[in-house]
Structure 1
């Protein structure tokens, strides 16, 4: 039952936001009593925390699977983007923005976890790009890894990028394009252009 509650709560939080979804809403959706939820989670904050970190682990495993496949580094960036958009439903809400606004401690912990994972993932992606001649060999891998993380988290700020003006797919698509063009060799630009025409 606990896993089912986490699954249902996760879907509702991502679709409607952490603030607006109540324990009553989750209970009604599952056709169970609110007391049943409280048997497993003593309050909403704990439910959000477990849901958030569980989803983080799921996304991490998915990214690891993509990294193990034989994509070139530019393809890999787009495959990861598609996977994240599919599972985080960022087209209809901005979970990270709401988490920061209403549950800042959980958000801060999540950011630390995300940075650790992204630091390894992006650094590996950059090095592969250098080795394959797609990214310039003189780029500062550590610096660009940090800039990439800040950019990817920054585009989820609804004050700067409201969803009624910029879809999350549009933002991520354009940010990856911006990122690659800033570090790519001529071969890398050609690879990017070929990939974009095939999408």
Structure 2
């Protein structure tokens, strides 16, 4: 039951927002009493914390599975993007903004976890790209890995990129192309062009 609550609450938070979804809404959607939810979670804040960690862990596991295949690092990034979009179901609300506004401590904790995970992942990706001569040998891996993380965070800012102007899928496509074109060799650019043709 706990996992069912986490799945449904996560889906509702992504689509409707952390603020607007109530415990009553979640109970009604699952078809249980609110009391049942409270046997697993102390309050809504506790549920939000557990949901964000649950979603984070699921996404990390999926990215790790892609990572373990050790594919071409450019293709790997496109596959990770597709996985994340599919997992988040092209979120219709602005969950990051709402999480930051209404649950700042949870937001801060999850951002730190995201940073630590992404740093390891993207640095390994960059190094493989260098080894395969897909990325320019003049890039600074530490700098690029941090810029990549903060760029990925920034495109989720609903004030900078309103959902009525940009879909999450479109933003990730544009940002990934922007990131890769800035670091790729001519050999890498050929791989990007092929990937872009496949997603159009």
TM-score range normalised by the length of the shorter chain: over 0.9
5 Å matches for 1:1-199?
1-199=1-199
Give the deviation of 1:70 after TM superposition: 3.9
Distance 1:176 1:24 in 2: 39
Q: 2:14 touches 2:91 (CA, 8 Å); kept in 1? A: no
Q: 1:91 touches 1:169 (CA, 8 Å); kept in 2? A: no
SS in 1 for 2:160: coil
SS in 1 for 2:115: helix
Give the deviation of 1:120 after TM superposition: 0.5
Instruction: Please give the TM-score of this superposition, normalised by the length of structure 1.
Output: 0.97
Distance 1:11 1:175 in 2: 24
Where structure 1 has 5 or more consecutive residues not aligned to the other structure, the ranges are none
Instruction: Please give the TM-score of this superposition, normalised by the length of structure 2.
Output: 0.96
Give the deviation of 1:16 after TM superposition: 1.1
Q: After superposition, what is the alpha-carbon deviation per residue over 1:135-191, rounded to whole angstroms, capped at 9, x for unaligned? A: 011110000000000000001101010010011111110111111111110111111
Count of matched residue pairs: 199
Distance 2:90 2:48 in 1: 17
Q: Which runs of 4+ in 1 moved over 2 A?
A: none
Q: 1:16 touches 1:93 (CA, 8 Å); kept in 2? A: yes
Query: RMSD over aligned Cα, in angstroms?
Result: 1.0
Q: 2:13 touches 2:95 (CA, 8 Å); kept in 1? A: yes
Q: After superposition, what is the alpha-carbon deviation per residue over 1:118-147, rounded to whole angstroms, capped at 9, x for unaligned? A: 000100110010000100111100000000
SS in 1 for 2:20: coil
Q: After superposition, what is the alpha-carbon deviation per residue over 1:82-106, rounded to whole angstroms, capped at 9, x for unaligned? A: 1111111334122222211111110
SS in 1 for 2:39: helix
